[in-house]
């Protein structure tokens, strides 16, 4: 998939989100929850237009980032080195934004009572799909595990992303199951934080293993 095709599909997702907002507008009350606490209870309220503008703004962000990142990337660190993977991954990002928009609107209507856990399930599903493509990402400054050690070494970059890809794929699948089971939201949230930071630590450990310091003592 190239960037043009990805942008076209993302534009369709934006239109779908807009049409769904129009459909939901007549059903939502004028005052809706705009934020939920860790116990899935609403703790902030506002006009229903807030949810529409926020959701559509996020959906607009996906295509803008897809278009802008290649143009902002420095030479030899651009997305053109993994163009098809980049286009697919940005499509996944837009898919996650659309799913989040849907969940928020349904929760504001009262159809989803455990919004936090459902949100976690959406994010874990994204991690699983994203992890399946991690090993194909080339060194860049915007996507993947970007640490001083991965950016400094091609070997460390490749090893880190292969291991992180496996962690995110299997961890994402397990996370979806945990999120949909009757656990407190802090359980999947803690797992998500650990999954996010583990590759950072792993990249440092891999740099010591794969790129030992050979400077004179």
Instruction: Evaluate whether 134 touches 161 at the Cβ level (below 8 Å).
Output: yes
Confidence at 212, pLDDT banded by 50, 70, 90: low
Q: Please tell me the chain's helix, strand, coil percentages from 3-state DSSP, rounded to the nearest 5.
A: 70, 5, 25
Instruction: Evaluate whether 7 touches 60 at the Cβ level (below 8 Å).
Output: no
DSSP annotation of 137: P
**Own/partner pairs, 146-150, CB within 8 angstroms, 24+ separation:** 147/200, 147/203, 147/204, 149/203, 149/204, 149/206, 149/207, 149/211, 150/203
Structure tokens at 107: 């929760």
| Domain region containing 119 | 114-217
Task: Point out the domain boundary residue: 113, 128, 159.
Answer: 113
Task: Point out the domain boundary residue: 113, 129, 152.
Answer: 113
Please report the sign of the dihedral spanned by the C-alpha atoms of residue 42, residue 33, residue 101, residue 200. negative
Confidence at 217, pLDDT banded by 50, 70, 90: very low
Does residue 187 register a pLDDT over 50? Answer: yes
Does residue 58 register a pLDDT over 90? Answer: yes
pLDDT at 184: 80
Q: What is the pLDDT of residues 62-111, one digit of tens each?
A: 999 999 988 888 776 767 778 899 999 999 999 999 999 999 999 988 88
Does residue 59 register a pLDDT over 60? Answer: yes
Clarify whether residues 206 and 144 are in a common domain: yes
Clarify whether residues 22 and 59 are in a common domain: yes
> Any alpha helices (H) in 110-153, and if so which ranges?
115-131, 148-152
Q: What does the alpha-carbon distance between residue 211 and residue 89 come to, in Å, rounded to a whole number?
A: 29
Instruction: Evaluate whether 56 touches 21 at the Cβ level (below 8 Å).
Output: yes
* Number of structural domains found in the chain: 2
pLDDT at 121: 93
Q: What does the alpha-carbon distance between residue 206 and residue 216 come to, in Å, rounded to a whole number?
A: 21
Question: If we measure between CA atoms, which residue out of 94, 91, 90 comes closest to residue 56?
Answer: 94
Angle at CA of residue 44, ends 39 and 49, nearest 5° = 125
Task: Point out the domain boundary residue: 67, 93, 113.
Answer: 113
């Amino acid at each position: 998939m190239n960037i043009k095709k990805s942008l076209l599909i993302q534009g369709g997702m934006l239109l779908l989100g807009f049409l769904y907002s129009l459909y939901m507008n007549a059903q939502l009350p004028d005052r809706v929850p705009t934020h939920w606490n860790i116990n899935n209870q609403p703790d902030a309220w506002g006009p229903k237009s807030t949810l529409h503008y926020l959701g559509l703004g996020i959906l607009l962000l996906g295509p803008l980032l897809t278009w802008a990142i290649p143009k902002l990337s420095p030479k030899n660190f651009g997305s053109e080195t993994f163009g098809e993977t980049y286009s697919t991954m940005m499509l996944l990002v837009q898919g996650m934004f659309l799913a989040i928009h849907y969940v928020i609107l349904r929760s504001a209507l009262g159809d989803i009572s455990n919004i936090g856990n459902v949100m976690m399930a959406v994010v874990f599903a994204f991690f699983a799909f994203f992890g399946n493509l991690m090993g194909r990402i080339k060194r860049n400054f915007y996507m993947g595990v970007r640490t001083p050690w991965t950016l400094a070494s091609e070997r460390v970059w490749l090893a880190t992303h292969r291991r992180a890809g496996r962690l995110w794929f299997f961890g994402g699948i397990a996370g979806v199951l945990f999120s949909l089971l009757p656990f407190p939201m802090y359980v999947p949230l803690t797992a998500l934080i650990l999954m996010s930071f583990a590759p950072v630590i792993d990249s440092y450990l891999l740099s010591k293993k794969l790129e030992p310091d050979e400077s004179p003592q």
